[in-house]
C-alpha cells in the first residue's frame, strides 16, 4: 500500500494539524452524542415497559378463546408490542400487537432459546427475533409460576440514532471544510513574515560571496519581537548586518592588497631591470673577470630574470583583478598550440611531447598573447612536476568534435557542445596530491612547500591560467590520479557579452 502523502511545508503541516484536531474533536462529540442518545432512548423504552406492568404478556397466561373475556388484552398497547409466555423454559405463546389486535409470532429454535435466556429480573434486555428484528424486552414471573415477557421494537431508536448520525456527518463535514479553508488562509496570513524571512535568506544564498563587492539584500521588515517569527526576523537582520560588515571589510582589504601588488610590481620593474642590465654589462666587460665574480654576476642575472618574470606575473594578476579588458582578436588555437609545444620540446627534450589536433583550424575570440601564456603555463607545469620520459599530450577539440562526447587526449569523454572549445594538457606523471588538488589554481600554491623550491616555479602559473581563462569567460579544471593528470580549459567560441 502507498504511504499517505506527508505535508512538507510548515503552512501545510499547521493546516493539516488544525483540521486533524478538529476532526478528532468532531468525532469525539459525534460518538458521545450518539451513545448518549441511544442510551437515553433505550432507558425510555425500559421505563415504558415497566410502566405497562406486563398486561399484554399476562393475558397470554391462558389459552386464547373466542369469547372476549379470555382474549389477549391489547388495550393501551402500542403497535408492535411483543408478548410471550414461557412455562418451564418452553415458550407456549408469542404474539405481537398489530392494529390493536394480537397476531401470533412464528418462532425459530434460536428465537425460543433467546427468549428462554432472558432472566425474570424486571430489567430491560435486548434480543433479536428472526421475524420481528431487534426488541427490548422485560421478563417477570407470572401467577402460574411461568415467565411473562413484554417487549417493544428498537427500530425507532435505530432510526433516530441514524438520523442524528446523518445530521452530524453533514454538519461536521461542512464545518471541517469551512475550517480547513479558513485555517489555511489564517495560517498563510500568520506566516507571511516567515515567508519574507525565507525569501531574504534565499536571496543571500544566490549572492556571489566568494569575492568582490557584495550588495546585501534589504533587511526583513520589523516584526513583533514577542513572536517567534519576529525573533527569527530580527536575528536574520543582525546576521545580515554582521555579514555585510565583514564582506565590506574583506573587500576593502582585497582592494588595498590589489593596489599594493599592482603598485609594488610596477615600482619593482625598473630597479629589477636596472640590476639585470648592470649584470649583463659587467659580464660583457672585455677585461679578465675572476671566476668567482663571474659566477656571482651570472647568478645576479639569473635571479633578476626570475624576478622580472615574477613581477610581470604579479602585475598581470593585478590587472586582471582590476577588470582590465583584454584584446579581442581572432586567435588560431591550433597554431598557438604548435608554437607552445615546440617551445616546450626545446626546453625539455627529455620529455615525450604529443599533439592531438583536429584537421581543421580551431579559432576563438580573445587575447592571443594571454592564451599562449595559458598553454605555455600548463605545459611548463607538466614539465616541471613530472620526471624525464613522461608523456605530455596537448589536445584541442572544437564544437562539432565534442558535441557527441569524443574522447580527447587520454581516454575520458569531454562534456561540451556547439560554441565551446576544449583544450587539454594530459601527462602520465605521478599525479597531484589529493590535499593540493582543491587549491592548485590559487596563488602561491606549490608542490614543494620548502624554501628551496626544488620543484621550481613561484606558484603563480596556474593562478594566471585560471585568471586569464576567467577573463575569457571560460572555465578550467583538473582531474588527477597516479599515472594520469588532465587539465581542461573550456573557452567559448564567441566572446561573452557580459562585462569581464
pLDDT of residue 393: 94
pLDDT of residue 15: 86
Any bridge partners for residue 97, and if so which? Answer: 102
- d(Cα 315, Cα 378) in Å, to the nearest integer? 19
Determine the average pLDDT of the residues in 191-200: 78
pLDDT of residue 72: 60
CATH classification for the domain delimited by 329-492, as one of 3.30.565.10, 3.40.605.10, 2.70.70.10, 3.60.15.10? 3.30.565.10
pLDDT of residue 3: 61
What distance lies between CA 143 and its chain's CA centroid?
84
pLDDT of residue 40: 93
Buried b (16+ CB within 10 A) or exposed e, 95-111: bbbeeeebeebebeeeb
Judged against a pLDDT cut of 70, whether residue 266 lies above it is answered with no
pLDDT of residue 65: 44
Determine the average pLDDT of the residues in 102-120: 88
Q: Name the average pLDDT for the chain.
A: 80
- d(Cα 291, Cα 287) in Å, to the nearest integer? 12
Instruction: Say what the pTM is.
Output: 0.49
Identify which has the larger pLDDT, 452 or 396: 396
Show me where the domains of the chain are located: 11-160, 209-324, 329-492
Query: Which cell is 66 given?
Result: 373466542
What is the tally of helices (H) and strands (E) in the chain?
Answer: 12, 13
Judged against a pLDDT cut of 90, whether residue 375 lies above it is answered with yes
Judged against a pLDDT cut of 70, whether residue 498 lies above it is answered with no
For the ranges 74-83, 120-129, 208-217, 488-497, the one whose mean pLDDT is highest: 120-129
CB-CB contact of 240 with 219 (8 Å): yes
Query: Which cell is 377 given?
Result: 603555463
Judged against a pLDDT cut of 80, whether residue 229 lies above it is answered with no
For the ranges 68-77, 111-120, 315-324, the one whose mean pLDDT is highest: 111-120
pLDDT tier, 450 (very low <50, low <70, confident <90, very high otherwise): very low
pLDDT tier, 249 (very low <50, low <70, confident <90, very high otherwise): confident
Judged against a pLDDT cut of 70, whether residue 210 lies above it is answered with no
In CATH terms, is domain 209-324 a member of 1.10.287.130?
A: yes
Determine the average pLDDT of the residues in 124-138: 90
Q: Which of 34-48, 313-327, 346-360, 474-488 has the lowest mean pLDDT?
A: 313-327
Q: Which residues contact 75 (CB under 8 A, 6 or more apart)?
A: 55, 100
Do 209-324 and 329-492 share a fold? no
pLDDT of residue 50: 82
Judged against a pLDDT cut of 90, whether residue 424 lies above it is answered with yes
Amino acid at each position: 500500500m502507498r504511504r499517505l502523502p506527508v505535508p512538507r511545508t510548515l503552512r501545510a503541516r499547521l493546516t493539516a494539524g488544525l483540521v486533524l484536531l478538529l476532526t478528532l474533536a468532531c468525532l469525539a462529540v459525534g460518538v458521545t452524542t450518539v451513545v448518549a442518545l441511544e442510551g437515553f432512548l433505550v432507558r425510555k423504552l425500559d421505563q415504558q415497559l415497566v410502566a405497562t406492568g406486563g398486561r399484554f404478556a399476562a393475558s397470554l397466561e391462558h389459552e386464547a378463546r373466542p369469547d372476549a373475556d379470555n382474549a389477549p388484552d391489547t388495550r393501551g398497547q402500542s403497535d408492535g408490542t411483543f408478548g410471550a409466555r414461557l412455562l418451564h423454559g418452553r415458550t407456549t405463546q408469542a404474539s405481537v400487537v398489530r392494529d390493536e389486535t394480537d397476531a401470533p409470532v412464528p418462532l425459530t429454535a434460536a428465537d425460543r432459546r433467546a427468549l428462554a435466556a432472558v432472566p425474570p429480573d424486571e430489567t430491560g434486555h435486548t434480543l433479536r427475533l428472526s421475524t420481528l428484528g431487534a426488541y427490548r424486552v422485560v421478563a417477570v414471573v407470572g401467577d402460574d409460576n411461568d415467565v411473562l415477557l413484554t417487549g417493544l421494537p428498537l427500530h425507532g431508536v435505530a432510526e433516530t440514532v441514524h438520523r442524528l448520525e446523518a445530521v452530524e456527518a453533514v454538519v461536521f463535514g461542512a464545518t471541517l471544510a469551512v475550517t480547513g479553508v479558513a485555517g489555511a488562509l489564517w495560517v498563510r496570513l500568520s506566516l507571511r513574515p516567515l515567508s519574507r524571512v525565507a525569501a531574504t535568506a534565499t536571496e543571500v544564498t544566490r549572492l556571489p560571496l566568494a569575492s568582490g563587492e557584495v550588495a546585501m539584500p534589504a533587511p526583513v521588515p520589523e516584526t513583533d519581537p514577542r513572536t517567534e517569527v519576529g525573533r527569527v526576523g530580527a536575528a536574520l537582520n543582525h546576521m545580515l548586518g554582521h555579514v555585510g560588515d565583514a564582506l565590506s571589510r574583506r573587500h576593502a582589504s582585497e582592494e588595498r592588497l590589489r593596489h599594493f601588488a599592482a603598485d609594488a610590481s610596477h615600482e619593482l620593474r625598473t630597479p629589477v631591470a636596472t640590476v639585470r642590465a648592470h649584470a649583463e654589462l659587467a659580464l660583457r666587460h672585455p677585461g679578465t673577470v675572476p671566476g668567482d665574480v663571474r659566477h656571482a654576476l651570472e647568478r645576479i642575472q639569473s635571479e633578476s630574470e626570475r624576478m622580472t618574470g615574477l613581477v610581470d606575473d604579479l602585475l598581470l594578476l593585478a590587472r586582471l583583478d582590476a577588470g582590465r579588458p583584454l584584446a579581442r582578436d581572432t586567435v588560431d588555437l591550433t597554431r598557438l598550440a604548435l608554437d607552445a609545444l615546440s617551445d616546450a620540446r626545446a626546453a625539455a627534450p627529455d620529455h615525450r611531447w604529443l599533439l592531438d589536433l583536429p584537421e581543421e583550424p580551431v579559432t576563438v575570440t580573445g587575447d592571443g598573447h594571454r592564451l599562449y601564456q595559458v598553454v605555455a603555463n600548463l605545459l611548463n607545469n607538466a614539465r616541471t612536476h613530472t620526471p624525464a620520459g613522461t608523456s605530455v599530450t596537448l589536445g584541442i577539440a572544437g564544437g562539432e568534435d565534442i558535441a557527441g562526447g569524443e574522447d580527447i587526449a587520454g581516454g575520458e569523454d569531454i562534456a561540451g557542445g556547439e560554441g565551446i572549445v576544449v583544450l587539454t594538457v594530459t601527462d602520465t606523471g605521478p599525479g597531484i596530491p589529493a590535499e593540493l588538488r582543491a587549491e592548485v589554481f590559487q596563488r602561491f600554491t606549490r608542490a614543494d612547500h620548502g624554501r628551496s623550491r626544488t620543484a621550481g616555479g613561484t606558484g603563480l602559473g596556474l593562478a594566471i591560467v585560471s585568471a586569464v581563462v576567467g577573463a575569457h569567460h571560460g572555465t578550467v579544471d583538473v582531474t588527477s590520479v597516479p599515472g594520469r593528470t588532465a587539465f581542461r580549459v573550456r573557452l567559448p567560441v564567441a566572446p561573452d557579452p557580459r562585462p569581464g
